[in-house]
Amino acid sequence: MGAQRDERGATAVLVAVLALVLLGVGAVAIDMGQVYAKRSSLQSAADLAVLAAAAKLDGSGDCSAEAVAAAESYLEENWIDQDGDPFDVDLGGSSDDGDGFIQCDGWKVELWAPAARVNFGLAKALSPDNDGVDVPAYAEAGVYSPASGMMPAFAAAGCDYGQQTLLDNSPGGTTPLPTPDLQQDSPIDNTLTIDSLTPDRIDLNQPGTIALSITGNNALENVTTIAFSTPENGSNHHITVPRTTAAKKLVTLSDIPATVRSIQETWYVRVSKDNGTTWSAALPFQVGESILECASTVTDGNFGALRLPRDSGTPSDWLAMNIATSLDFTLTTYPNPHPGWTCSAGDGSAVLAPNDGTNCVDTDTGLPASDTEAGLLTGKGISAPARLAKPTNPDCGRPDQTIDFGGSIGSRTFNNDTLACFVASGATTSYQTPGYSGPAVISKDIFASPRYFWVPVFGIAASPGGSQRWQIIDFRPAFITGPDGPDEYNGLGFKTQGSAKSLRSVKVVFFNPKALPESISGGPVMDYLGVGTKVIVLTD
């Protein structure tokens, strides 16, 4: 037999080589583990620091001093570098200078944390020239509002707190009205002109004798008959009475008819000099709660619709779709509003629809009842469920509401939340005033109710007739609610024709944003409006 080879020496060499490899892998694994742990810890610190900064944003183009201080303070007090010393934090300079950087844009903030150093241990033996690595961390955060939606209607300054009525089905302004047989082709006597009514509003069932004065042109001395009419069908909604006295430019009626006083409605007054064969144009006369206004001196209303286009559909269904769903772009306030309150594409600060950040909006006086009914209740003619087609909050202890609209629409069941369901027990209505400075009294659960929304506010004291572009100067939280009564269901008023109903008015309560929670976490969000509850979101 040949001599057997002795391989014990080769085995020792192989073990030595493998040991060196394993030692290197272990060294790299240990040091890379430190890098990963340091990176994870630093990222957590950066995330929390950027959230702290976001809570201090003021909406300007730059970071507020409070936002910078909040981020720096968090990093310095809550992060210890490898040598046991706090960070050397200086969030000025640039994003690549190693000692941190912060930048803000409106309600968004970006943060580059100071680089954390990881010194290599065993791995350094494998690469003497590389003794460690700097670990970066980056985070973004923003301020948002709870995604409660925006009503495509507006309120004017002075009419943006407390209970208000957004719309009425009656036409506004001077308009021809039906003849006594309620036909729409009533001949108009253009020689008769009426300019004003005194009074132009009375309380429902107001007692006593109430005289009515009608002023106009010289032809009023020939007036024989005065009519009170509404768009409703039925003899009790068209009442003619003989005038009491007449003179040039003035007609008087000694007492307004009891039937007119007993029906809460926007009536229309007109006069005739031939006992009703022809009639003048008409002026509105309100019985009961004023509609489309919050002061009796305002004749054309304080509320109206916003003309906001959509990416799809036709202009005829945009308003209903905007009521039923969220807008296709965001709205914000006009920077440094100027007196006059109008705006145009030529204004340097104006942003027009359909751009995000729109602050200059087209309007129409009045909020059409048919579009509002479709958007809120029936969904008729739009490719979206109606806004209120959601169940009532079970904590409110109320059943859903059902209304029969008749015809092809039929019955619809809709949300029946009340504002009181979300207001803290014992709270007074002072939270519905502009001067409110008390604590938050409204639960965050309100944001899930389809009856809650925001309304843009204009600086004007009253809305103009026709279309105009106006600056948005503020936003007001609102909730659809009101007392129940004949054809009044929790803020929704209806008119009845036969066995069917149609929407007549929408009552809302405007309240102070300070009554809402200061901030909440979680839930769907929309771009921050600059007022109201903040939702701080880590976006990267």
- 35-49 pLDDT, tens digit each: 676 777 888 888 999
Could you tell me if 375 and 323 are in contact, meaning their C-beta atoms sit under 8 angstroms apart?
yes
Could you tell me if 95 and 111 are in contact, meaning their C-beta atoms sit under 8 angstroms apart?
no
**pLDDT at residue 6 tops 80:** no
Which pLDDT tens digit goes with each residue over 470-483?
Answer: 999 999 999 999 88
CA dist 342 and 472 (Å) reads 9
pLDDT at 271: 92
Could you tell me if 142 and 109 are in contact, meaning their C-beta atoms sit under 8 angstroms apart?
yes
Cis peptide before 399 (omega within 30 of 0): no
Percentage helix, strand, coil, to 5, in the chain? 20, 30, 50
Binned at pLDDT 50, 70 and 90, residue 186 comes out as low
Instruction: Classify residue 83 by its DSSP letter.
Output: T
Top pLDDT among 163 and 495 is at 163
CA dist 453 and 375 (Å) reads 14
Which pLDDT tens digit goes with each residue over 135-183?
Answer: 888 999 999 999 989 999 888 887 889 888 876 544 333 334 444 443 3
Task: Tell me how far CA of residue 333 lies from CA of 148, 458, 477, 518, in angstroms.
Answer: 18, 10, 14, 20
Across the range 377-388, mean pLDDT stands at: 92
Average pLDDT score over the chain: 82
Helix (H) / strand (E) element for 476: namely strand 474-480
> Coil, strand, or helix at residue 167?
coil
Token duo for residue 470: 């106006």
pLDDT at 332: 93
φ and ψ at residue 469, rounded to 5 degrees: -100, 135
Other beta carbons within 10 angstroms of residue 110's beta carbon come to 20
pLDDT at 18: 62
Could you tell me if 392 and 398 are in contact, meaning their C-beta atoms sit under 8 angstroms apart?
yes
**pLDDT at residue 294 tops 70:** no
**pLDDT at residue 503 tops 90:** no
φ and ψ at residue 363, rounded to 5 degrees: -140, 160
Question: Angle 8-54/65-78 helices, nearest 10 degrees?
Answer: 150
Across the range 346-359, mean pLDDT stands at: 92
CA dist 251 and 1 (Å) reads 145
Could you tell me if 273 and 223 are in contact, meaning their C-beta atoms sit under 8 angstroms apart?
yes
Across the range 442-446, mean pLDDT stands at: 96
Could you tell me if 45 and 75 are in contact, meaning their C-beta atoms sit under 8 angstroms apart?
yes
Binned at pLDDT 50, 70 and 90, residue 120 comes out as low
pLDDT at 408: 85
Token duo for residue 132: 């460690």
**pLDDT at residue 276 tops 80:** yes
What is the per-residue burial (b if ≥16 Cβ within 10 Å, else e) of 457-469? bbbbebbeeeebb
**pLDDT at residue 386 tops 90:** yes
Other beta carbons within 10 angstroms of residue 280's beta carbon come to 27
CA dist 308 and 319 (Å) reads 7
| DSSP sequence for 347-370 | STT--BTTSTTB-EEEEEEB--HH
Could you tell me if 233 and 182 are in contact, meaning their C-beta atoms sit under 8 angstroms apart?
yes
Nearest to 506 by CA among 304, 316, 369: 369
CA 100: distance to chain centroid? 37
171-175, 322-326, 369-373, 462-466 — which is least confidently predicted?
A: 171-175
CA dist 151 and 325 (Å) reads 9
